[in-house]
Structure 1
Amino acid sequence: MNQLLVTGGGGFIGSNFVFLTQLNSNTATINLDKLTYASHPHTLQALSQIPNYHFIRGDIDDQNLVTRLLQDYQPDAIINFAAESHVDRSIANPNEFIQTNVVGTANLLETTRLYWQELDAPQKSAFRFIHISTDEVYGSLGPQDPAFSETTPYAPNSPYAASKASSDHLVRAYFHTYGLPTITTNCSNNYGPYQFPEKLIPLIIAQALNQQPLPIYGDGLNVRDWLYVEDHCRAILTVLERGEMGETYNIGGNSEKTNLAVVKEICELLNELVPKPGFDYQSLITFVKDRPGHDRRYAINCTKIKRELGWQPQETFSSGLRKTVQWYLKNQAWVNAVNTSDYQNWLAQQYGIKP
């Protein structure tokens, strides 16, 4: 691929993907991002230093803008990361999620279809549209239920999950109706560098370093499969290069952990890396009122992508978490830039943690 259009490349997973693609200096990357609260200025500054990188501020919902970008840059593939992705915020304001994740994806697909249909035969055959989704579309599992596979029926339980399920169905429809060469990936919980600290792992690291309460919803026994972000990005590149058109691939980290276990492991790492005599970071653990409709367990069966495309995660949860904690320790300026009054007010609203 010589030209990639990455939507949402200023966010957590998208930015990590852009960094990874630039290991191949022959690939030009066009990053379309509307820069919501989760797009960090330091991340954008780091991306701007990359050769063959072009940033355009804008929305996938803007069909005129997307049409112009497609005509100007003639991308070989579109990687669609653009999405509102935080469950808590979807509960507070579902309409934003419907607008971006459903309407925005629909408009992006239609604009892409019109562009793709005008390509010559070799370009048309080589073109790819990769849609990045989530395991949350599958709903919640019981303790003994088998992990989600690509054939698990959709049963979304939050406005976020429902909006992503809707976008997945639209992508599928554009493949089956128009022949648009689409592939969907459904990933488990990502963690790693550049993640906005509203998500569990960076939130706990930031709170612990400030010796503030470490909020855990309910009893802390909700289970997630944890996937290191660089492993996820390598999987996306694998799908881009070798994936079958019209298929779905589940991407997981083979690391089921309760939220409580994750928080305790972070505390153990901080006790080692940032020790305070006579103090244990676990003493900051605070259980708070549970999230409405909180799914109990997610688990990903990623046998298909391993069997058909040869991908598997390179990091264990312990190795990935250590890298993640070390990154946040080394990048405190990045973290501090997020610590605005709006962010503190959000913590107070969600967890009852006062600034």
Structure 2
Amino acid sequence: MNIIVTGASGFLGRYVLNELSHTGHTVKAIGRSKNKLIGLSSSANYTFAESDYSLASLLSEFKGFDTIIHLASEIMQRNTDKFRITDFNNIELFQNVLLAAKQNDIKKVIQTSTISVYSEVDVLNTEENCKHPPKTIYGLSKYMCDIYAEYFRDNSDVEVLTLRLARLYGYGDRETVIFEQFVNKAINKEPLTIFGDGSSTIEYVYVKDVSKFIVNALNYPKVGGIYNLGFNYIYSLKEIALAINLIFKNPEPVLFPKPNFKNTKGVRMNSNKLTTTFDYKSNWSLLKSLKDLALYYN
């Protein structure tokens, strides 16, 4: 296959490139900054291209390719206006990807979405057909991309596979996310602190599970639609903190300085549709993934 990967220098993109390096496929890695792309892979089958993700740029870059793995996305910032959908370029960016794919006669697009498309109303066993509005403007922007993907599937010959991912974790993630903060404190032998009593929950999925699945999904060129991809299990912050302390041998305790702080129950996605369709099974439990993660720091 001749494969395009957008967002190739991002957290997930780097793992997908590494996974693809074992396949022999021809790969073009696209990102906004060529400096960030250089050095991502030494594979002779890889080329790198800088793009502003305009339609004109993508029309040119997609020539000669047959499959798109679309990972590029804008995330929510602290100063994001929660009422301005135009603060995100996700919709226009994805539109350009699909239009450029169609005009280049590319039949397969895999795009990543997010658990953020679901509402707090959808707490347990959330399936892909839930229709409650997302909690954040970022989630709304990604939800609109998902619906647009379905519209495109119905009205063109481009098959789009949408993967709604649980919260990613793994080596190289942003230091601002709570999982990475816990790991850094454990490495430095500092107490891990949690607001609330630790019962707040988040569904995570290890980045290596996701990258492997995306590459394996290339073997299903005619399968499209929306699929949840997570652990099919939801961990409390206390469980995560204790597991991190165990694996990283942190003798310091987990502290709860504000035990009366509001606890939140995160969405737990039902990934049965994906496991059945793709014969998929997670390779990484929480403890196994933490042991793997610890190797990067040794």
Structure 1 length normalisation: TM-score?
A: 0.74
Shift of 1:196: 2.1
Match of 1:241 in 2: 219
Deviations 1:293-314, CA, capped at 9 Å, x for gaps? x963111211112212111101
Distance between the aligned counterparts of 1:97 and 1:269, measured in 2? 43
Shift of 1:100: 2.5
Look up the equivalent residue of 2:67 and give its one-letter code: A
After superposition, the Cα gap between the structure-2 partners of 1:253 and 1:65, relative to the gap in structure 1 and judged at 3 Å, is same
Match of 2:7 in 1: 8
Match of 1:137 in 2: 117
Distance between the aligned counterparts of 2:291 and 2:239, measured in 1? 14
After superposition, the Cα gap between the structure-2 partners of 1:158 and 1:110, relative to the gap in structure 1 and judged at 3 Å, is same
Match of 2:69 in 1: 79
- Identity level (%): 20
Shift of 1:260: 2.8
After superposition, the Cα gap between the structure-2 partners of 1:6 and 1:323, relative to the gap in structure 1 and judged at 3 Å, is same
Shift of 1:52: 1.4
Distance between the aligned counterparts of 1:220 and 1:226, measured in 2? 16
Look up the equivalent residue of 1:139 and give its one-letter code: S
Task: Say if 2:194 and 2:254, in contact at 8 Å, map to a contact too.
Answer: no
Match of 1:221 in 2: 199
Shift of 1:224: 1.8
Distance between the aligned counterparts of 1:269 and 1:133, measured in 2? 30
Match of 2:26 in 1: 28
Secondary structure of the corresponding residue to residue 266 of structure 2:
coil
After superposition, the Cα gap between the structure-2 partners of 1:28 and 1:243, relative to the gap in structure 1 and judged at 3 Å, is closer
2:91 to 102, 105, 108: 102
Shift of 1:243: 5.7
Task: Say if 1:10 and 1:33, in contact at 8 Å, map to a contact too.
Answer: yes
Deviations 1:17-57, CA, capped at 9 Å, x for gaps? 11001111x2121111114xxx995xx45513233112222
Please say if 1:311 is aligned against 2:296.
Answer: no
Match of 2:236 in 1: 258
Please say if 1:282 is aligned against 2:262.
Answer: no
Look up the equivalent residue of 1:8 and give its one-letter code: G
Structure 2 length normalisation: TM-score?
A: 0.87
Task: Say if 1:141 and 1:297, in contact at 8 Å, map to a contact too.
Answer: no
Deviations 1:299-348, CA, capped at 9 Å, x for gaps? 12111122121111011111012212332x14xxxxxxxxxxxxxxxxxx
Shift of 1:191: 1.3
Compare 91-100 and 11-20 and name the one that shifted more.
Answer: 91-100
Secondary structure of the corresponding residue to residue 89 of structure 2:
helix
Look up the equivalent residue of 1:57 and give its one-letter code: E
Look up the equivalent residue of 2:26 and give its one-letter code: A
How do 1:162-241 and structure 2 match up within 5 A? 162-210=140-188, 214=192, 216=194, 218-241=196-219
Distance between the aligned counterparts of 2:137 and 2:247, measured in 1? 34
Task: Say if 1:98 and 1:163, in contact at 8 Å, map to a contact too.
Answer: no
After superposition, the Cα gap between the structure-2 partners of 1:163 and 1:263, relative to the gap in structure 1 and judged at 3 Å, is same
Please say if 1:70 is aligned against 2:62.
Answer: yes
Match of 1:325 in 2: 294
Shift of 1:244: 4.3
Look up the equivalent residue of 1:137 and give its one-letter code: V
Task: Say if 2:198 and 2:237, in contact at 8 Å, map to a contact too.
Answer: yes
Distance between the aligned counterparts of 2:247 and 2:102, measured in 1? 48
Deviations 1:124-153, CA, capped at 9 Å, x for gaps? 6xx2111111122121256xx541212222
**Structure 2: 5+ residue stretches without partners:** none
Distance between the aligned counterparts of 1:128 and 1:17, measured in 2? 17
Secondary structure of the corresponding residue to residue 323 of structure 1:
helix
Task: Say if 1:255 and 1:316, in contact at 8 Å, map to a contact too.
Answer: no
**Structure 1: 5+ residue stretches without partners:** 117-123, 331-355
Please say if 1:93 is aligned against 2:91.
Answer: no
Please say if 1:47 is aligned against 2:40.
Answer: yes
Distance between the aligned counterparts of 1:200 and 1:50, measured in 2? 33
Task: Say if 2:19 and 2:211, in contact at 8 Å, map to a contact too.
Answer: yes
Look up the equivalent residue of 1:59 and give its one-letter code: D
What is the count of residue pairs matched by the alignment? 296
Secondary structure of the corresponding residue to residue 248 of structure 2:
helix
Match of 1:338 in 2: none
Shift of 1:187: 1.4
Compare 204-213 and 222-231 and name the one that shifted more.
Answer: 204-213
Task: Say if 1:83 and 1:97, in contact at 8 Å, map to a contact too.
Answer: no
After superposition, the Cα gap between the structure-2 partners of 1:304 and 1:51, relative to the gap in structure 1 and judged at 3 Å, is same
Shift of 1:208: 3.9
